[in-house]
Amino acid sequence: MPFLLSSICITLIEFPAWFIFGLLTIYILSYQPQKPFHKISYQ
């Protein structure tokens, strides 16, 4: 039982960090390709 409780606590602590990391990754991936993308489309 303490193992389950500690794993839940670890998940609750680490989830926001992974969520922020995921949002940051999505933001970077959606922001970065726009510069080369527009160059290619204008050529």
Region 24-39 average pLDDT: 72
Please give the residue that has the higher pLDDT: either 33 or 28.
28
Region 1-22 average pLDDT: 84
Report how far Cα 4 is from the mean position of its chain's Cα atoms: 26
Report how far Cα 8 is from the mean position of its chain's Cα atoms: 21
Cα separation, 16 vs 4, in Å, equals 19
Please give the residue that has the higher pLDDT: either 7 or 2.
7
**Tokens (6 digits) for 36:** 């080369």
Chain segment 13-28, per-residue pLDDT in tens: 888 888 888 899 988 8
Please give the residue that has the higher pLDDT: either 11 or 43.
11
How open is the CA angle 16-21-23, to the nearest 5 degrees?
95
Cα separation, 10 vs 27, in Å, equals 26
